[in-house]
Amino acid sequence: MKCHHYFGLRACILPVLILLTRFAAPGQGAPDVRLDSVITSGLSEPVQVVNAGDGSGRLFIVQQGGTIKVFNRVTDASFSDQGVFFRISGIPVTGEQGLLSMAFHPQFSTNRRFYVYYTNAQNNLEVASYQTGADPNRFDPATGQILLTIPHPTYTNHNGGEMHFGADGMLYLSVGDGGGAGDPGGNAQDLSKNLGKILRIDVNRADLRPADNPFPNSLVYALGLRNPFRWSFDRQTGAAWIGDVGQGRFEEINAVSETDLRGANFGWDCLEGNSTYTAGCTAPANYFAPVHTYATGSEGQRSVIGGVVYRGAAFPNLNGYYVGADYFGSQLHLIRQTGTTYSFTPDDVGVTGISDLGEAENGEIYAVSRLTNILYRVEEGPPLPVKFASFSVSRSEDNSADIQWRVSASSDFSSFELQRSDNAREFTVIAHIPRKDTGEEFTNYSFTDATVQPDRRYYYRLRVLDNDGSFEFSPIAAFYAPITGIDPPTGEARLVRPTIIESGELQIYLQEPFDELQLIGLSGQCTHKIALGLRTGQLRINPGPIPAGLYLARFTNNRKVVTEKIIFP
C-alpha cells in the first residue's frame, strides 16, 4: 500500500476506499459517547470550531478554502446560519494549505479583534489580525494587519496549526516542522526556527516577543513537535493537550501542565511516540513523553486529531474527560487523568474525517468532519442500535457496486436506509432494507447497486432507523465504477503504466480526479505542469520532448499528493 500525506494527515491508495471496516467497543469506566448532527448543510471543508468568548453563544467554523462561517446559538443542539464572518482570498488552499485557524482576543467584546492563521501566497505561514465592523457578524477587511510571517521553504505540508489565547493573555500557536519525511530540515529541535514548535506571542508588543519566554529573544515556548495540527488548553486547569501526527509508526497525544509547557521538549525527531526515530539519539533535555500513543494504522487510524477536555454542564459523567479523535478512524479518544496516570478508552461513533473538536462558550464540545461537512455535538449516550463488524463496497462481475455489511447487537432497530452520493456530502436514498431476525450473533446484509455509471466514484452510507423513530448514520464507504474492459488500479498498481515511458506518451489510470500532473527531475525542479481538469479513467498524455532520465510524476488535488517514479529512456 502506498501512503501519502495531505492536510497534515495521511492518505493511502486503495482499490476501493473503505473509510471504516471495524468498530471497537468502548472500554469500561468511561461513559458512552455519540455524535449528534447539528449543522448538516452550508459547510465546506470545515477545519475548526471556535467560540468568541463574548457572551453571545455564537459558534464560528473555520473552512480551509478561506472563509469562516458564523452561527447563532438557539439551543445546544440548534444553531442558525448567519453567513460568512470572514473571507480571505489569494491563498493556496490545496493539500495541507489554506485557512487553518482563528482565535478571538480575550477582550474581543470591547476591542472586536480576532486573529487568523493561514498559508500565504508564497507558501509561508502567516498570522494576521482583524476587527469586526458595525455588524458583529462581519469582519472589516480594512483593519487587516499581518503580525507574523514564518518561512516555510521546500515543502507545503506540516503547517500545523491552531491558535489559542492562554490564561496569561498571550497567543499560543502550534506550528508543524516544515514538511518532508523525518524533518529533513532539522527544524523541530532548532531554536533558531519557529517550525515544529509551540509559539507564545504577545500581540500587544511590536516585536511580539514576551519578555518571560524561556528562550531569549524568541517566540519559541515549547519544541520537538512534528505536526501538531490540533490542540487545546483545559479551561479549568490550564493544561495543554496536543495531538501530534506521527511519521509512520505512532500517533501521540501529549498533556502537560500550564507550568511545565514552558520550555517543554516533546522529542521529535529524536523520538516518535516513545520509540527512537533517529538512530543514536537520546531523549533531549526537559523531555515530556506522550500520555498516550497508538500504532499508526490500528483500527484504521492514521492521523491523530487533538481534542479538548469536557467542562460543560449537560453531561456530568463526561466532566474531566479529554475527547480527541483520528481523521481516518471513527473512534473518539477518551482520556481520564487521575493523579499522574492516564486511562484511555476508545469509543466508536461512526464518523470519519473529523478535523477538529472545539468548545462552545458553555463548555459543550462540538466536532466537524471535513469529509461529511457536518457539525456534530459530542453527547453522552448509548451507541448505535447496531454494532458494525464490517461495511464495504466492491465491484461485482458486471461492474455493479456490491455493498455488504455485517452487524451484531441488532435487535433494537427497525431497518436500514441505504443512501448514495457522488460527492460524500449530499446523499439520496436508493433502498430500504428491513432488519433480519436470524438469532445469530452476527447478521450479514447485502445490496447490489446496478445503476452506477462507468468512470465515476460513488459514496455509500446507511441510516439506521430505530424503533422509536430516532436514527444514526454508519460510516461512509466509496466505490469507483470502472470503464468496461479497464481494470481499476489495485493497492500496489501505479497511476502511470508502464513506468518506462514508451514513445513519449504517458498512459494514466485515475480512480479519482486530480487537478494537475507535475514532472520533476532529479534536480528537484518541476519541468512540466499538465492540467488534468479533474478527469478520471484512462488518459493518454503527450508532454512533448523530455530529456532521458528518472522523473517524479506528482499528481495533486485539494486533498492529497501522489508521487510515482517514471523513466523516460
More confident residue, 369 or 559: 369
Is 387-481's fold the same as 506-568's? yes
Query: Which helix (H) or strand (E) element contains residue 78?
Result: strand 78-87
| Residue 383: band (very low, low, confident or very high) from pLDDT cuts 50, 70, 90 | low
List, for residues 202-254, the tens digit of each pLDDT value: 999 999 999 999 999 999 999 999 999 999 999 999 999 999 999 999 999 99
At CB < 8 A and 24+ separation, what contacts does 511-514 make?
511/15, 511/457, 511/480, 511/536, 512/457, 512/480, 512/536, 512/557, 513/557, 514/555, 514/556, 514/557, 514/562
pTM listed for this prediction:
0.69
CATH ID of 387-481, from 3.90.870.20, 2.60.40.10, 3.30.200.20, 3.30.360.10: 2.60.40.10
- Per-residue pLDDT, 491: 40
Cα distance between residue 256 and residue 239, in whole Å:
6
Q: In this predicted structure, which of 15-29, 367-381, 432-446 has the lowest mean pLDDT?
A: 15-29
- Per-residue pLDDT, 530: 86
pLDDT surpassing 50 at residue 303: yes
- Per-residue pLDDT, 10: 45
Q: In this predicted structure, which of 170-184, 227-241, 453-467 has the lowest mean pLDDT?
A: 453-467
Q: Which amino acid is at 2?
A: K
pLDDT surpassing 50 at residue 4: no
Please state the rounded mean pLDDT for residues 160-184: 96
Class of domain 506-568: mainly beta
pLDDT surpassing 60 at residue 9: no
- Per-residue pLDDT, 513: 76
- Per-residue pLDDT, 292: 97
- Per-residue pLDDT, 391: 83
CATH number of 40-380: 2.120.10.30
The proportion of the chain whose per-residue pLDDT surpasses 90, expressed as a percent, equals 61
More confident residue, 516 or 441: 516
| Residue 425: band (very low, low, confident or very high) from pLDDT cuts 50, 70, 90 | low
- Per-residue pLDDT, 467: 73
Among residues 493, 494, 530, 497, which one has the least CA distance to residue 515?
530
> What is the layout of strands, in order, in the sheet containing 401-408?
387-395, 401-408, 442-449
More confident residue, 549 or 81: 81
Q: Which three cell numbers stand for residue 53?
A: 468568548
Identify the DSSP state of 156.
S
List, for residues 323-380, the tens digit of each pLDDT value: 999 999 999 999 999 998 999 999 988 899 999 999 999 999 999 999 999 999 999 8
| Domain segments of the chain as ranges | 40-380, 387-481, 506-568
Query: Who's near 168: CB < 8 A, 6+ residues apart?
Result: none
pLDDT surpassing 50 at residue 17: no
| Residue 553: band (very low, low, confident or very high) from pLDDT cuts 50, 70, 90 | confident
More confident residue, 383 or 297: 297
